[in-house]
Amino acid sequence: MTGPRTPGKRTPGLHLYVHFPFCRARCPYCAFYFVVGRAEARRPYGDAVLAELDRVVKDPRFAGRPLRSVYFGGGTPSLLEPAFLAAVLERARDRAGLVPDAEVSLEANPDGLDDERLAGLRAAGVTRLTLGWQSLREEPLRALGRTHTVREATESLADARRAGFDNIGVDLMFGLAGQTVAQWREDLRRVAELGPDHVSAYELTLEEGTRFTRQHADGRLRLPDEDARAEMFESVDEELAPAGIVRYEISNFARPGFECRHNRSGWRGDDLLGLGASAASHVANARWTNVADLDVYRQRVESGRSPAEAPDVLDDVTWAAEDLYLGLRTVEGTVVDDRLEAVGADDRARLRGAIDRARASGLLEDADGRVRLTRRGRLLADTVFDDLLSVGGAAG
């Protein structure tokens, strides 16, 4: 049986994710762990996060490895008090170390981002904002359960610029009920005119247990057909590239130099520490997730216990398959030999077989010593990824 590996040249970087599960409202598509309201629990929760940080950085696997990025996600992290953000960053700097140019990202809802809060976030040490626009049309915003307006969305970008943020991304969704290709293209052109540095464009996914999934199952939610969704996917490139916002990963686009370093670290296979309820961590071939319950999380941390559920340790072929999958998500692709260096001959042949099948189907191509998805391959990426990951799953 494969045991936990020591972090090495395959996972050189160390990064931090902090989950803040509090939200003002329940979005009908969201499958992340969150709670609505419970403002009285925010401060005790923050104290528990700081205590968890103190605990995990004592792990010898993290010694001498300063953090390269910090990402505050949720939930709605923009509800956090800037003082708490500053405390986390100061504690991380003191206990683990931060590289001098560490990227510090925070997800933010457009509503509630007044000048005072933006100044506080900036002063706390946040260097990069991701604004959860999702749509630039009022009707889809209401259907998505968002609490902001189109005007608040567009003003949030201008306000953040005025507050001194020079690295701002926006999140968008397509494949929504009632959405047409023409509307989506028009929205993308407007986004390009507004000038964010980064755009994440995600197709609506029907996640298990969400209200949208139930509505779709009983016919109350009708989504665009497959051809329309494919055209929406391809149109992101076509509408944003002329504005200098270019694809660097399947769902992510940026001006050169504004790619999200934290997300890139994940596709590169760097190590990640996750703090907070439901936060996931991965170090070398070990994977674990904190309990997805606010109160149980706090109880465990406050009693000196780990909030993590039982870890999952990947065998070498599953780890390699995951590495290939992550690398192929990026536009530049991956060097296959580098990903297979620790895999036995039989499993190496099986993984190469999956690569060869995708190449023969026109879904992968060779370029500059790397293997990457073709344009058609990006549309059918799940087919490539499922084949690769099934090799690892079969071996495990």
Contacts of 347 (CB under 8 A, 6+ apart): 316, 317, 320, 391, 395
Query: For the residues 85-92, what does the mean pLDDT come to?
Result: 95
Full DSSP string of 321-385: HHHHHHHHTBTT-B-HHHHTTTS-HHHHHHHHHHHHHHHHTTSEEEETTEEEE-HHHHHTHHHHH
- Given this model, what pLDDT does residue 61 score? 83
- Given this model, what pLDDT does residue 209 score? 84
Query: For the residues 316-339, what does the mean pLDDT come to?
Result: 93
Q: Is residue 1 pLDDT above 70, yes or no?
A: no
The residue among 339 and 346 whose pLDDT is bigger is 346
Q: How far apart are CA 26 and CA 29, in angstroms?
A: 9
**Lowest-pLDDT range of 178-182, 280-284, 368-372, 388-392:** 388-392
Q: How far apart are CA 30 and CA 144, in angstroms?
A: 9
Q: How confident is the model at residue 3 (pLDDT cuts 50, 70, 90)?
A: low
- Given this model, what pLDDT does residue 341 score? 85
Query: For the residues 299-314, what does the mean pLDDT come to?
Result: 95
Q: Is residue 396 pLDDT above 50, yes or no?
A: no
Q: Give the residue range(s) of CATH 1.10.10 domains in the chain.
A: 315-395
pLDDT in tens, 196-251: 999 999 999 888 888 888 988 898 989 999 999 999 999 999 999 999 999 999 99
Mean pLDDT of the chain: 92
User: C-alpha angle with apex 164: 243 to 266, nearest 5 degrees?
Assistant: 65
Query: For the residues 59-83, what does the mean pLDDT come to?
Result: 91
Sign of CA dihedral 177, 181, 183, 188: positive
Residue with tokens 């397509």: 174
- Given this model, what pLDDT does residue 4 score? 52
**Which one-letter DSSP state was computed for residue 4?**
P
- Given this model, what pLDDT does residue 7 score? 43
Buried b / exposed e over 79-88, threshold 16 CB at 10 Å, is bbebebbbbb
Q: Is residue 312 pLDDT above 90, yes or no?
A: yes
Structure token pair of residue 327: 């690398």
Q: Is residue 43 pLDDT above 50, yes or no?
A: yes
- Given this model, what pLDDT does residue 241 score? 98
Q: Give the residue range(s) of CATH 3.80.30.20 domains in the chain.
A: 14-267
Q: How far apart are CA 97 and CA 395, in angstroms?
A: 38
Q: How confident is the model at residue 37 (pLDDT cuts 50, 70, 90)?
A: confident
Query: For the residues 11-26, what does the mean pLDDT come to?
Result: 86
Q: How far apart are CA 164 and CA 170, in angstroms?
A: 17
Q: Is residue 395 pLDDT above 60, yes or no?
A: no
Q: Is residue 12 pLDDT above 70, yes or no?
A: no
Q: How far apart are CA 240 and CA 200, in angstroms?
A: 11
Look at the domain 14-267 and name its fold: pyruvate-formate lyase- activating enzyme (3.80.30)
**Lowest-pLDDT range of 224-233, 235-244, 274-283, 332-341:** 332-341
Q: Which CATH class is domain 315-395?
A: mainly alpha
Q: Is 253:378 a contact under the CB 8 Å cutoff?
A: no
pLDDT in tens, 97-137: 999 999 999 999 999 899 999 999 999 999 999 999 999 99
Q: How far apart are CA 387 and CA 304, in angstroms?
A: 42
Query: SS3 for 253?
Result: strand
